[in-house]
Amino acid sequence: MENAPVSKNFIENIIDKDLAEGVYDHVCTRFPPEPNGYLHIGHAKSILLNYGLAKEYGGTFNMRFDDTNPTKEKVEFVESIKEDIKWLGADWEDRLFFASDYFEKMYEVAVRLIKKGKAYVDDLTAEQIREYRGTLTEPGKESPCRNRSIEENLQLFQDMKDGKFADGEKVLRAKIDMASPNMNMRDPVIYRVAHMSHHNTGDKWCIYPMYDFAHPLEDAFEGVTHSICTLEFEDHRPLYNWVVEEAEFPHPPKQIEFAKLYLTNVVTGKRYIKKLVEDGIVDGWDDPRLVSIAALRRRGFTPESIQMFVDLVGVSKSNSSVDYAMLEYCIREDLKLKRPRLMAVLDPLKLVIDNYPEGQTEMLTAPNNMENEALGEREIPFGRELWIEREDFMVDPPRKYKRMFPGTEVRLMNAYFVTCTGYDTDDEGNVTCVHCTYDPATKGGSAPDGRKVKGTIHWVEASHAGKVVTRLYENIVDEEKGVYNKEDGSLNLNPNSLTTVSAYVEPCLMDAKAFESFQFVRNGFFCADYKDSKEGAPVFNRIVSLKSSFKLPK
């Protein structure tokens, strides 16, 4: 089956046809974000799709910022986007562009349209333009300014550029068709006056092109062959084609739309995230409870896990939602053989081995990952007093409970068999300490006489244990209520989305560096936080628990 044909998605089929018919002799794709916020998991699909197509066809991939709206754009967002894309592994090489690099060329195209009688300066206000546009069932009405002379339009547009008008006083509109069934074609605004400093061009311009005019021109200027975008831009395609055709480009880009990636019960809207940040509910755009790419990276997701997720989701023309559990499945699959499995106790209960020599510590050898011998072994300290998980001991357990209770023998992972002999309680009856004895002949976790035990529990030696902060996450929204409140559109927040727990860990974990990740036995995968960890005092974010409800489709 090695030579079995690989099933291609519909975009690859279009590209194959274009190359075979000589429409293009190469492939050039791009990712064109607006720098008005941080990228999220949906953008990752677009980045990896565009980059993957360029690699597949031996073509080129451009990185371009669609920075035509200085009212919302920041250098902070530009830098975060560049960092995200590099982290995902998409390499734009020397092809980093900005829409603002082309402002002069765009202005020249606008002048050309005016000279061709295809654009005019309008005096109508934004509200009047909306009123004149008509409805889905009624045609629009022509502006009184629509038939201005070419000479007057050229002079007015020059005056707009020279700063002679206030914001909103004049706009330049394309002259297309006020009766078009496609609302985007009813003389759309292509330039507006905005006296604002731009992060890239400073105060050079006080007029800025609208996105629907600038975007197709940017693709055309760069020689992009296939403009891959999401379905909401399908109705804009006739306008994009009109712009590049009227600008007389010989090989216009071909726009192809695909379905957006929707994750269930997550917040991706920039205005909602902005409010969460401003209200102090999250500690920034990269808070690990969010699904911005920066947040996923901080939480401990890997580029490989996101690529796996995007591949599983696939490329289609139909919008659908994907369960967040699929993303969790991908990170588990990626990390389970790559990361060491170490012991950490998140809800500690003291265990005393009464017959172990006081003051003695021995070093035991343990595999770093029982499923991957290549990760080697480590030495862990063992002594008379240990920490175990509180849930691993019960005074009066239910049937089939396989851990520690009075009179039972269990295995301490990688250590000895121990038998519970009793426990201490406080005045309220809460268990404060468990007592046991150990069998020295069972070192390494097996008995020479062949006897078996039903339970194995993990532990951390008390005198050498490191104490760290761990963060346990739930969904930031209340899944039962849904993401948004139907009455006022606000978010239904989960008050338990973050739980901070002090944990005892193996001493080697105290040297964890930012972004290093580990599996904590039975507790999940954890990553050292890059913001709050200090040298010798790591803070661990739980990436994902070990249990999954997701099943990969067969």
Domain boundary among the residues 258, 290, 317 is at 258
C-alpha 461/C-alpha 359 separation (Å) is 12
Same-domain check for residues 390 and 489:
no
What is the C-alpha to C-alpha distance for residues 276 and 288, in angstroms, rounded to an integer?
Answer: 13
Dihedral over alpha carbons 265, 318, 55, 33 (to 10 degrees): -60
The DSSP symbol for 56 reads: H
**Do 252 and 303 belong to one domain?**
no
CATH code for the domain in which residue 497 is found: 2.40.240.10
Q: How many domains does the chain have?
A: 3
pLDDT of residue 2: 47
Report the candidate in 11, 13, 18 with the shortest Cα–Cα distance to residue 46: 11
Assess whether 150 and 112 both reside in one domain: yes
Same domain, 109 and 175: yes
The per-residue pLDDT string of the chain (554 residues; one tens digit each, 9 = 90 and over) reads 344 455 789 999 999 999 999 999 999 999 999 998 899 999 999 999 999 999 999 999 999 999 998 888 889 999 999 999 999 999 999 999 999 999 999 999 999 999 999 999 999 999 999 999 999 999 999 999 999 999 999 999 999 999 999 999 999 999 999 999 999 999 999 999 999 999 899 999 999 999 999 999 999 999 999 999 999 999 999 999 999 999 999 888 999 999 998 888 898 888 889 889 999 999 999 999 999 999 999 999 999 999 999 999 999 998 888 999 999 999 999 999 999 999 999 999 999 999 999 999 999 999 999 999 999 999 999 999 999 999 999 999 998 899 999 999 999 999 999 999 999 999 999 999 999 999 999 999 889 998 999 899 999 999 999 999 999 999 999 888 888 887 777 889 999 999 999 999 999 999 999 999 999 999 999 999 999 999 999 999 999 999 876 666 65
Burial class (CB in 10 A: 0-12, 13-18, 19+), 284: middle
CA atoms lying within 13 Å on the CB side of residue 239: 26
Q: Say if residue 301 is in the same domain as residue 226.
A: no
Q: Is residue 550 part of a domain?
A: no
CA atoms within 13 A on the CB side of 499: 11
Pairing of strands 344-345, 431-439: unpaired
- Candidates 105, 207, 113; CA nearest to 153 is 113
Domain CATH code at residue 15: 3.40.50.620
What is the C-alpha separation between 520 and 537, in angstroms, rounded?
A: 17
* Distance, CA of 205 to CA of 67 (rounded, Å): 13
Domain membership flag for residue 554: no
Residue 184 belongs to some domain of the structure: yes
Task: Map residue 110 onto helix, strand or coil.
Answer: helix
- Burial grade of 500 (CB within 10 A; 0-12, 13-18, 19 or more): exposed
The answer to whether residue 3 sits within a structural domain is no
Domain identity same for 47 and 138: yes
| Domain carrying residue 204 | 10-258
pLDDT at 488: 79
CA angle 32, 38, 44 (to 5 degrees): 60
Residue 553: the pLDDT is 62
pTM of the model: 0.90
What is the number of H-type helices and E-type strands within the chain? Answer: 12, 27
- CA count, 13 A, side-chain hemisphere, 506: 23
- Asked which of 436, 458, 480 is the last residue of a domain, the reply is 458
Q: Considering the domain boundaries, does residue 416 fall inside one?
A: yes
